[in-house]
Amino acid sequence: MNTLKIVGLLCCSAFLVRSAHIPEKSMDAMSLIEKILGNIPVVHGSSVKIMGLTLDPSSQSRNMPYQSMVTSLGIPAAPELRTVCRPLNQIDFTLEMCLSSMSAGLQLYQDVLGELKERVTTDKVTGLLADIRDLLAQVTKMQEPGQMSSVAQYEASGLASRLPGDYEVQVATHFTLLQLRDFTQNLKRSLRNVEHLTSRPGQRG
């Protein structure tokens, strides 16, 4: 057996060892993802009362007049997972980068919803925050111990200081939940990619 084949087998074996725990953790994560997706409409319905601001995909064109407010209020957007958690036939798929982006996005929503929680008129945000915290913990467990120091860290948005009244709070809550839903759906798809990756040793980690 030549040197290249030996090195390839060693790399594949190392990948399998360090990623063997991921499928179990991803099952727990998937359960939390479904909880989050189910709770988003509940939180939205109890906290956003502005006519026309709904989560219904067919009414998203009504959001257009508010886009300037999204910019002026500085409502942050999460990392684009589809960019870094590519389909498995892409040779530049990097497991650590994918998991790190998931972590950064969940940190973002912990921060933003944490600030909104103090301003909205419902306590249902607390449950949603708990699910996001637990999901972040599961994603963190999927990462290598040696990779923990390189996990993307999200800096606080300071969003609350830019929300002078209830109207702005409701707009910020609406778009945050809308973006959280999109991010969580992308996270779900990305986790499936990770599951497939860890079952196919020929892929890079």
- Residue 163 has a pLDDT of 94
Distances (CA, A) of 122 to 46, 60, 111: 6, 24, 17
Domain membership of residue 121 (yes or no) is yes
- Residue 93 has a pLDDT of 58
Locate 173 and state its tokens: 């809550």
Domain membership of residue 18 (yes or no) is no
Report how far residue 114's alpha carbon sits from residue 123's, in angstroms, rounded to the nearest whole number: 11
Task: For 128-183, write each residue's pLDDT tens digit.
Answer: 999 999 999 999 888 766 554 445 566 678 899 999 999 999 999 999 999 999 99
Neighbours of 123 (CB within 10 A): 11
User: Three-state SS for 124?
Assistant: helix
Domain membership of residue 6 (yes or no) is no
- Of 73, 78, 45, give the one whose Cα is nearest residue 187: 78
Domain membership of residue 10 (yes or no) is no
Residue 202 has pLDDT above 80, yes or no: no
Domain residues for the domain of 179 are 29-70+90-198
Domain membership of residue 102 (yes or no) is yes
Cα pseudo-dihedral 191, 193, 199, 205, rounded to 10 = -90
Q: How many domains does the chain fold into?
A: 1
Domain membership of residue 23 (yes or no) is no
Distances (CA, A) of 127 to 2, 10, 116, 175, 186: 56, 44, 13, 19, 21
Task: For 76-109, write each residue's pLDDT tens digit.
Answer: 988 888 878 865 555 455 778 888 899 999 999 9
CATH code of the domain containing 57? 1.20.1250
Domain membership of residue 5 (yes or no) is no
Q: How confident is the model at residue 47 (pLDDT cuts 50, 70, 90)?
A: very high
Cα 158 to its chain centre, rounded Å, is 19
* pTM higher than 0.95: no
Domain membership of residue 98 (yes or no) is yes
Report how far residue 178's alpha carbon sits from residue 63's, in angstroms, rounded to the nearest whole number: 10
